[in-house]
Each structure stands twice: as structure tokens, then as C-alpha cells.
Amino acid sequence: MKFFIDTANLDQIKEAQDLGILDGVTTNPSLMAKEGITGHDNIMKHYVNICNIVDGDVSAEVISTDFEGMVREGEALADLHEQIVVKLPMIKDGIKACKYFTDKGIKTNLTLVFSAGQALLAAKAGATYVSPFIGRLDDISTDGLNLIAEIRMIYDNYGFETEILAASIRHTMHVIDCAKLGADVMTGPLSSITGLLKHPLTDIGLEKFLADYNKGN
């Protein structure tokens, strides 16, 4: 299972990268705005900064909603750095643009996916990643994890190679449940990754080991 961090915060990206278990980064316009990164040039520079910190794929989202605009923006994003994955919205022109980039050998991430039917279309268009937003489904009393299970079954039925990128992860149990269901990738905040470290018995056990070691010294 690949671990992506879902942020535009460079310190948090560095912290996750330093752990040695980070496989990539996802961003979106809201995450950029949260870090105060606004304006086309600043946003483009920030993507390069992120790519220079991590080794893996970095999803950069287009803001156009028409095919021509998505192609123009996506090509500019892909030219920025070889690690850039063009993130496209799950709308009709997004699917068309996904097929266009697939044919050109440019990686894509179909975002804002909330149904199995949308995920099927993403796979048909050759998306590298499909991003079902499980937290936002949970927010409206719908079972986000069930969507991961449905997509896994459909992709396995036909051998689709599109990777299921479980997005809108909110906490560690989302990560664990997505791993059980066979999601290929998870993307979440730093806390959903570092939270996996925590267990009180580990802390108690370590304290005892160190205390016992120190008895002889």
C-alpha cells in the first residue's frame, strides 16, 4: 500500500518524507489556499518545491472545467516536473482529458469520485489513480469504505490497472480499513500516518525495557 500525504504544507511533507515511508503527495486548490499559496506563479513554484522534497508522485489539480483548458493546464503542470500527476475533476471533460493524457503517457488522478460508476469511467479512460473521497461520504452518513470495496471488486473483475487512491482519509482507522479492503494508495493528513505509530503497550514496554537495562548500569 502506498502512503501519500494530503497537504501543501512543506514542513509536514518533509516530516513524512524523513520517516522514509512516503510514496507521494496529493494537493488540491483548498490545501494550497490553506497554506496561503495563491496566484498562478506561486502555485506552480510550490508544486516544484514539493517535488524537490519527495521521491514519488505529486498530484497537481487543474482548475479548468472544459477540455481545452484542462489540456492546456495539465500540459503546463506535467512540464513542471517529471513527478507531477495531472489531477482532473470527475466530470465529462475530465474523462475526455484523462484519455488524452493517458494516450500521451502522462499520469492522471481522477478526483472528486463518489460512486462506483464514476470509478469505472476513470478506469476506462486509463486513469493512473482514481480518488474516492471516503471522509466526505462519511460526512453525509454514507459508507465511504463500502465504495472502496465496490471499486476493488469491479477493478479486479476486469483487471483494470487504475490504482485506487483512497482520499479524504480522516484518521488511522480509515487507513487500516482501506488497507484491509485492498486500496492501492491512501492519502491523508500527517496525523493519519503518524497516528499509526501509537500504542500505549509500546510506550509502557519500552519504558520497562529501558528501566531494566539501566538497573545494571
User: What is the identity of the amino acid at 205?
Assistant: G
- Which residue from 5, 6, 74, 162 is in contact with ligand E4P, where contact means CB under 6 A? 6
Helix ranges, the chain (H): 10-19, 29-34, 40-53, 67-80, 92-103, 116-124, 134-139, 144-158, 172-181, 190-194, 200-215
Residue 129 CB coordination number (10 Å):
27
- In terms of C-beta density within 10 A (0-12 exposed, 13-18 middle, 19 or more buried), how is residue 69 classed? middle
- 2 in contact with ligand E4P (CB under 6 A): no
Among the listed residues 90, 79, 156, the one whose alpha carbon sits nearest the alpha carbon of residue 119: 90
* 87 in catalytic set: yes
Q: Do residues 132 and 143 touch, judged by C-beta distance below 8 A?
A: no
Cα 120 to the center of its chain, rounded Å: 18
Binding span for ligand E4P by CB under 6 A among 64-72, 75-83, 129-137, 143-151: 129-137
Q: How many residues bind ligand E4P (CB under 6 A)?
A: 11
Asked if residue 111 binds ligand E4P (CB under 6 A), the reply is yes
- Per-residue x/- mask for ligand E4P, residues 148 to 187, rule CB under 6 A? -------------------xx------------------x
Closest separation between CB of residue 140 and ligand E4P, Å?
Answer: 11
- The verdict on 7 binding ligand E4P (CB under 6 A) reads no
Instruction: Tell me which of 87, 96, 124, 180 is the catalytic residue.
Output: 87
- Could you tell me if 57 and 23 are in contact, meaning their C-beta atoms sit under 8 angstroms apart? yes
Site string for ligand E4P, 34-73 (x = CB under 6 A): ----------------------------------------
Nearest Cα to Cα of residue 23 among 52, 53, 54, 49: 54
Taking CB under 6 A as the binding criterion, the range among 12-20, 50-58, 130-138, 191-199 that sits at the site for ligand E4P is 130-138
Kindly state whether residue 131 participates in binding ligand E4P, applying the rule CB under 6 A.
yes
For ligand E4P, the binding residues (CB under 6 A) are 6, 26, 28, 111, 131, 133, 135-136, 167-168, 187
Catalytic residues: 87
